[in-house]
Amino acid sequence: MSVITYRQALRDTLRAEMLRDEDVFLIGEEIGVFEGSYKITEGLLKEFGERRVRDTPIAEEGFVGSAIGAAMLGLRPVVEVMTINFSLLAIDQIINHAAKVYGMFGGQTSVPMVIRTPGGGGQQLGATHSQNIELFYSFVPGLKVLAPSNPADAAGMLRAAIRDDDPVLLLENLGLYNSKGEVAEDDEPVAEIGRAAVTREGSDITLIGYSRMAALATQVAENLAAEDISVEVVDLRSLRPLDRETIVESVCKTGSAVIAEDDWLTYGIGAELAATIQEGAFDFLDAPVRRVAMAEVPLPYAKPLESAALPSAESVTTAIKETLNAVGRRVG
Cβ(165)–Cβ(110) under 8 Å?
A: yes
Contact, 258 vs 232, CB < 8 A? Answer: no
Distance (Å, whole) CA 141 – CA 11: 29
Is residue 207 within 8 Å of residue 261, measured between CB atoms? no
Is 129 assigned a catalytic role?
A: yes
CA dihedral in degrees (140, 233, 318, 320; nearest 10)?
A: 100
Q: Which of 129, 172, 232, 306 is catalytic?
A: 129
Verify whether residue 60 is a known catalytic residue: yes
Catalytic pick among 29, 35, 60, 134:
60
Q: Which residues are catalytic?
A: 60, 129
